[in-house]
């Protein structure tokens, strides 16, 4: 009797283990099945050179970006179009780790948990990206051979319409000197998703955001800029003596003296809290591609260094995509959609069930509205609104000193305040000089193509 009882327990234990194993398998099957099916050891899905042999990649208009022809994967378009699109589409060798051909390989095989391998053998699936090829090409041309990044997205739906990274190259005609020529340095990296740079004055948007919420008399104050001021052990300088200014004028003039003083008055802890709330130091998941968070270390800085950090210098490094999302949140009442590369219809097995993922509250709604008006004033009184046509653009420029005798980085960050064009954008021109002039022109070209 005792022996039987013992055996019963062993049977139950084995049955329990089997059930648990099956459960783990089912969960992993639905979660990772697509990746198993598209894994490189499934050789029948790949050519001898290692490129995926099923599925078409399309832009938002249905233009083919890449497909399989006569048993070989090709990347479509002219050499210029392929170069402009490289960091979106990816390459045939898999060097562009964040390219769609690599990260969406499971979707391209057409794999789904219900039909499984049957769908794969039928030639794979179509993956429609949110990218607008015309906008992409316009931004690439506006960068005009300079290194940098330009991106634009719909802050209501999350769709990325443009995501250019330079330097780039034609993936069907890879330059021999790609890995030696400094002109191609960092060509494999998507600068929008996976890099960060000294932000300069676009960072003043976050310092202003903090000051608006923490300093109740901010809008009653005036400051007099003589062109430089001593803060802690540091001489903080402006490009000119800005004279007596309101906070709005100081923001539009991008007055370093005022923003350095504001950063010190706020203190590292308080400013740090707003940096964190802004989402800049968060990593976003763009359909599974994790982005590089910005790095804004404030702790332990001297007063002088903290002043420079509030101006966007010191050790500040900003990821372009995170700034674009923050701009979207300012435009959209404090929360923005998380950026996505998959077009609305391609995001789900069930058509129409596409859902928007949203960020947390990156900025209070009331603060966002006031900040948007100040950013609109920047364009009206300083950057020039005529270059943006009829669009109501709100923006902040940045000219980031990078040292080493090099030209500063030019930045232009902002959004359109218009329900018909719910776009926010970011432009960086490395060593491009003045932010509004160099990066603002790229933003204007990109917006004109998207609108």
- Given the rule CB under 5 A, which residues bind Zn ion? 225, 238, 242, 255, 257
For residues 257 and 329, which CB has a smaller minimum distance to Zn ion in the complex?
A: 257
Label the pairing between strands 409-416 and 423-429.
antiparallel
Question: Rounded to the nearest whole angstrom, what is the least distance from the CB of residue 397 to Zn ion in the complex?
Answer: 15
Q: Is 97 helix (H, G, I), strand (E, B) or coil?
A: coil
Question: Rounded to the nearest whole angstrom, what is the least distance from the CB of residue 222 to Zn ion in the complex?
Answer: 13
For residues 191 and 242, which CB has a smaller minimum distance to Zn ion in the complex?
A: 242
Measured between alpha carbons, how far is 149 from 132 in angstroms, rounded to an integer?
16
Question: Rounded to the nearest whole angstrom, what is the least distance from the CB of residue 194 to Zn ion in the complex?
Answer: 35
Question: Rounded to the nearest whole angstrom, what is the least distance from the CB of residue 310 to Zn ion in the complex?
Answer: 14
Measured between alpha carbons, how far is 248 from 29 in angstroms, rounded to an integer?
55
For residues 243 and 333, which CB has a smaller minimum distance to Zn ion in the complex?
A: 243
Any residues with CB less than 8 A from the CB of 129 and at least 6 apart, and which?
57, 58, 59, 60, 65, 88, 100, 341, 342, 343, 346
Question: Rounded to the nearest whole angstrom, what is the least distance from the CB of residue 375 to Zn ion in the complex?
Answer: 18
Question: Rounded to the nearest whole angstrom, what is the least distance from the CB of residue 327 to Zn ion in the complex?
Answer: 24
For residues 85 and 255, which CB has a smaller minimum distance to Zn ion in the complex?
A: 255
For residues 54 and 261, which CB has a smaller minimum distance to Zn ion in the complex?
A: 261
For residues 369 and 377, which CB has a smaller minimum distance to Zn ion in the complex?
A: 377
For residues 40 and 244, which CB has a smaller minimum distance to Zn ion in the complex?
A: 244
Measured between alpha carbons, how far is 150 from 84 in angstroms, rounded to an integer?
11
Question: Rounded to the nearest whole angstrom, what is the least distance from the CB of residue 156 to Zn ion in the complex?
Answer: 36
For residues 206 and 238, which CB has a smaller minimum distance to Zn ion in the complex?
A: 238
Measured between alpha carbons, how far is 295 from 316 in angstroms, rounded to an integer?
6
Question: Rounded to the nearest whole angstrom, what is the least distance from the CB of residue 247 to Zn ion in the complex?
Answer: 13
Q: Nearest Cα to 53, choosing from 31, 63, 38?
A: 38
Q: How many residues does this entry show for the chain?
A: 451
User: If residue 214 lies in a helix (H) or strand (E), which one and from where to where?
Assistant: helix 204-214
Judge contact between 379 and 228, C-beta under 8 A.
no
- Residue by residue, DSSP assigns 108-163 as HTT--TTTTHHHHHTT--EEEBS--HHHHHHHHHHHTT--EEEEEEETTT-BEEEE
What beta strand segments (E) does 247-392 contain? 285-286, 289-290
Q: Is 342 helix (H, G, I), strand (E, B) or coil?
A: strand
DSSP 435: I
For residues 37 and 255, which CB has a smaller minimum distance to Zn ion in the complex?
A: 255
CB-CB neighbours of 288 under 10 Å:
11
Measured between alpha carbons, how far is 82 from 393 in angstroms, rounded to an integer?
30
Question: Rounded to the nearest whole angstrom, what is the least distance from the CB of residue 447 to Zn ion in the complex?
Answer: 29
């Amino acid at each position: 009797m005792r022996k039987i009882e013992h055996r019963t327990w062993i049977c139950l234990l084995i049955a329990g283990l089997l059930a648990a194993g099956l459960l783990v398998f089912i969960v992993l099957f639905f979660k990772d099945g697509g990746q198993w099916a598209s894994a490189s050891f499934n050789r029948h899905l790949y050519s001898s050179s290692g490129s995926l042999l099923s599925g078409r990649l399309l832009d938002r208009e249905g233009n083919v970006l890449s497909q399989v022809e006569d048993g070989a994967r090709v990347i479509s378009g002219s050499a210029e179009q392929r170069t402009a699109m490289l960091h979106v589409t990816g390459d045939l060798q898999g060097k562009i780790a964040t390219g769609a051909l690599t990260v969406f390989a499971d979707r391209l095989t057409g794999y789904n948990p219900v039909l499984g391998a049957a769908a794969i053998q039928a030639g794979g699936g179509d993956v429609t990206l949110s990218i607008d090829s015309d906008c992409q090409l316009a931004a690439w041309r506006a960068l005009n051979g300079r290194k940098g990044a330009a991106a634009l997205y719909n802050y209501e739906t999350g769709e990325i319409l443009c995501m250019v990274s330079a330097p780039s190259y034609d993936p069907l005609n890879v330059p021999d000197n790609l890995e030696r020529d400094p002109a191609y340095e960092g060509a494999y990296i998507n600068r929008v998703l996976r890099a960060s740079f000294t932000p300069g004055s676009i960072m003043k948007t976050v310092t202003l955001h903090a000051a608006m919420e923490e300093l109740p008399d901010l809008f009653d104050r005036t400051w007099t800029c003589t062109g430089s001021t001593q803060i802690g052990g540091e001489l903080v300088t402006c490009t000119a003596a800005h004279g007596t200014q309101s906070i709005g004028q100081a923001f539009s003039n991008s007055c370093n003296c005022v923003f350095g003083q504001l950063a010190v008055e706020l203190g590292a802890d308080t400013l740090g809290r707003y940096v964190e709330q802004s989402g800049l130091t968060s990593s976003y998941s763009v359909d599974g591609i994790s982005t590089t968070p910005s790095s804004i270390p404030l702790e332990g800085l001297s007063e002088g260094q903290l002043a420079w950090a509030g101006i966007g210098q010191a050790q500040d490094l900003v990821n372009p995509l995170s700034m674009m999302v923050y701009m979207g949140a300012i435009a959209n009442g404090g929360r923005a959609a998380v950026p996505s590369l998959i077009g609305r219809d391609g995001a789900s097995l069930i058509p129409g069930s596409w859902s928007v993922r949203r960020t947390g509250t990156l900025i209070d709604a009331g603060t966002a509205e006031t900040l948007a008006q100040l950013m609109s004033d920047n364009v009206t009184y300083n950057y020039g609104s005529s270059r943006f046509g009829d669009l109501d653009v709100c923006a902040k420029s940045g000219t980031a000193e990078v040292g080493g005798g090099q030209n500063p980085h030019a930045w232009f960050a902002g959004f359109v305040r218009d329900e018909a064009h719910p776009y926010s954008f970011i432009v960086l021109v490395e060593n491009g000089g003045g932010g509004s002039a160099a990066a603002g022109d790229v933003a204007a070209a990109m917006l004109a193509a998207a609108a």
